[in-house]
Amino acid sequence: MTNRLLSLTAALMLIVAACGGTTEGTTTTGSDTTTTTQTETTVAAETPQGVLLSYSLAAGDEYSYEVDLDQHIEVSASGDASLMGDEEMPGNAVVDLTGSATFTHVVSDGPEPGTYEIHITGEFADVTVTGTVDGEPVDSDEAPDFAALDPIDLTIVVDEQGKLIQEEGDIDDPLGGLFGDLGALGSTSPAPGLDPGQFFGPLLSDDEVTVGDTWSEDIETPGLSEDSSIVTSITSTVTDLENLDGTEVFVIESQTSTSRIELDLGEFFAGMFGAFLPEGTTEAESAEFEEMLAQLKFVMTIDDTTSDSKTWFDAGAGVARQSEVTAGTIITMELNMPDEDTGEMVGFDMDMALDQVITYRLISGPTA
């Protein structure tokens, strides 16, 4: 799912909401390296015998999941929305959106032993939209652009513990590739629970676990600059053993938090504009250009992102049979750029709050 207004953040959105084990290592995607530090699993006394949980998939397996999405969006914006490529961007909007879909996960062998490649496809149907845009009721037959639900089509690679190693898909990057390999970094970076097209279910502990056991993991992902990083902290607990449709499952609850992300592209645009400065520029023109650069601003902030999930994991079959994910974040943008036609500086500010609940249920597959 890609909310068009969130296209600048798509490369930074994480697909995981879960946990860890007792090892320390690195995951390398392209030229970037993600460092994962796991703390020792704590074991509750006088509990049933521990079990090593792992995902058990095979090439050729195909799973279908029923997915329901309940989303609440609040937007407040001012200024020239054409800077976002959408002159119809509302000044104020409060929108609730619900939709359902059937997602298909097709499994292939991963690039390394103990990994799986999974192709995920699906499209939301029966979408209902309510709320107001600039004080006017939303047309329930047509969602606003910022609340559009796009089809899901991506390929991911995970290991037997559910760690997301790699992700490939259509990432809407309006800056023509500025984000580079951050599409892949999205596999192991923040904002968990915000994308319904994910490999749902937690990262599993490398140790045997049983009811009452807790494990934690910190994932540090490089930011856009050499001296910045994004930290995601995840804690998971086996809270119960339940009977789900005749199958005994582990109930795993996970809490995830991700540090604030600030993306300042002012220097990038300054360099881009400077590259087009013609030769023979006069002192007066250079001074005018420097004044424009001093006013230039392009800052996007993704506030601390939180996610809570509850998963019903079938240890015997090695699959998650059901999951509920609640997630939310706040995104702000501050832009001050020259108008394409007049060259005059124009600004645009936006605040968006996004909260949603996503539920998954296995409806068909080798072990359904």
**Structurally, how many domains does the chain consist of?**
1
**Could you tell me which residues are beta bridge partners of residue 119?**
106, 155
- Exposed / middle / buried, residue 230 (Cβ in 10 Å: 0-12, 13-18, 19+): buried
The answer on pLDDT for 82 being more than 70 is yes
- For 39, list phi and psi in degrees, rounded to 5: -95, 160
Return the top range by mean pLDDT from 7-16, 76-85, 217-226, 306-315.
306-315
Select the more confidently predicted residue: 83 or 300: 300
CA distance 15 to 129: 24
Q: What's the pLDDT at 277?
A: 66
Structural domain of residue 344, as residue ranges?
4-364
What is the rounded CA–CA span in Å between residue 111 and residue 233? 27
Which amino acid makes up residue 338? P
Looking at residue 323, its pLDDT comes to 94
pTM metric for this prediction = 0.73
CA neighbor of 201 nearest in space, from 17, 1, 67, 13: 17
User: Exposed e or buried b for every residue in 103-121, given b needs 16+ CB within 10 A?
Assistant: bbbebeebeeeebbbbbbb
